[in-house]
Amino acid sequence: MKNSSMYEFAREQFSAVGVDTEAALEALNEIPVSMHCWQGDDVDGFEAPEKAGAGNGCVATGNYLGKASNPAELMADLEQAASHIPGPLRLNLHANYATDGSPLPERNELTVENFRSWIDWAKANQFGIDFNPTSFSHPKAEDGFTLSHKDVGIRQFWIEHCIASRKIGAAIGEELNSPVVNNIWIPDGYKDTPADRMAPRVRLMESLDAILAEDVSKKWNIDAVESKLFGIGVESYTVGSSEFYLGYAATRQIALCLDAGHFHPTESVADKISAALLYVPELLLHVSRGVRWDSDHVVALDDPTTAILQECVSSGQMDRIHVGLDFFDASINRIAAWVIGTRNAKKGLLKGLLQPTKQLRELEQAGDYTSRLAMMEDARSLPWGTVWNEYCERQQTAGDNQWLGAVKRYEQEELVKR
Ligand code: RNT
Ligand code: ZN
């Protein structure tokens, strides 16, 4: 059977429970997903290795062939991945992926011109851009502290880097006519039990205030802060914890980043969205998958992930939520990892858009929880995959089970030569 006839059949089935698949597809096409540049090269970036220093918590394990090691390779790989992903995309850039300038300036002196090639690339490929200061993998972060460091000079360096990043974000946003989400994540914390839990948090709060004090366009640069439960080598205490940043984002009215891998494993990140949005103006999601101690597996369409993406759309708050990805897996084809994870994020959003939300709410309002559960569970087996494949077709992108061959060919033709 042709997909188009299958789609007509699926459309009727959804329509029977009051869901308009055409409206869902239109809405899906309005939600960009921000693809993270760092899946393509295991978070290495382009700085000279002696400058980059040790990793601090962002560890990609595996040694799959063909890692991108320069801007041209990373851009080509991103284009290959993007060609298998339907709908709008943004590029989530880290400051250590500066492309232009020889030598590159220190991180606290970076300017928009150091990202000129990326801006041109984004224009050519119709991507928006998001940005992140890189406060790790650097000699000044080697003891694991940055914005909360005891040493005022080191703190000042990272404050300047974050200010430079905000200015870069605003300049890129204005040039692309699309606001840049600028997300601060720092690795700061202790492996072992601290004697003073307060002092580093006071220093982090003051550093963030100094960063935000710089007058940067709010129209083009959206500040966000990202919490974490723990990291490798930072098992006992993370300065930028969930409570720290929820309080910070709420009192400073900036965006809060929820990384799906940064909470206790049984916490529902989906449930945090409606609570946080009462107090912070916007949310950034780092869609990711935590597995035991690791928070960065390729996004799967598992229940917790689907619940997050469904909640984004069914909350009716999509205009205040930015969807970004954050995973790094070096044990499989890196381009396939991007494609799988990004398609899954979009599938989760589509599943949310195809939920009979209005009807479920009416049942809830009427107190008919039996029917609510029945409808919710029956909705799970509606043919959303057919609607997804229709979307891929309309976007001239391969449907499920149709894209991997091209990625394998690219591996044979390009990646093996690296
Ligand atoms: C690290 C955070 C952060 C990074 C990126 C590379 O635990 O999740 O978002 O993954 O900045
Ligand atoms: Zn993250």
**φ, ψ (nearest 5 deg) of residue 376:** -60, -45
Q: Collect all residues with Cβ–Cβ distance below 8 Å to 275 and sequence separation of at least 6.
A: none
| pLDDT tens-place string over residues 24-60 | 999 999 999 999 999 999 999 999 877 666 667 688 8
Helix H or strand E segment including 171: helix 152-176
Tell me, what's the pLDDT at 293? Answer: 81
Q: Give CA–CA dist 224/295, Å, rounded.
A: 19
Sign of CA dihedral 179, 130, 393, 301: negative
Q: Burial level of 48, CB count in 10 A (0-12/13-18/19+)? A: exposed
Determine how many CB atoms are found less than 10 A away from the CB of residue 84.
21
Any binding-site annotation on 223? no
Average the pLDDT over 263-289 and give the result. 97
Q: Which domains does the chain have, with CATH numbers?
A: 1-30+354-418 (no CATH), 32-351 (3.20.20.150)
In the structure encoding, which two tokens stand for residue 131, read together? 């940005």
Instruction: Say if ligand 1 is within 6 A of residue 259 CB.
Output: yes
Question: Strand runs (DSSP E) across 200-293, as ranges?
Answer: 221-226, 237-238, 255-259, 283-287, 289-291
Helix H or strand E segment including 65: none
| pLDDT tens-place string over residues 354-401 | 999 999 999 999 999 999 999 999 999 999 999 999 999 999 999 999
Ligand 2: centre distance to CA 228 (Å): 8
Residue keyed to tokens 């540049």: 37
Index of the ligand 1 atom closest to the CA of residue 261: 8
Q: In this structure, are residues 133 and 165 in contact, taking their beta carbons and an 8 Å threshold?
A: yes
Instruction: Say if ligand 1 is within 6 A of residue 248 CB.
Output: no
Share above pLDDT 70 across residues of the chain, in percent, rounded to a whole number: 98
The HSE-up count of residue 89 (CA atoms within 13 Å, CB side) is 30
Residues with catalytic function: 185, 226, 228, 259, 262, 286, 294, 296, 326
Q: State which of 39, 230, 286 you would mutate to test the pocket of ligand 1, scoring each by most atoms of that ligand within 8 A of its C-beta.
A: 286
Tell me, what's the pLDDT at 54? Answer: 64
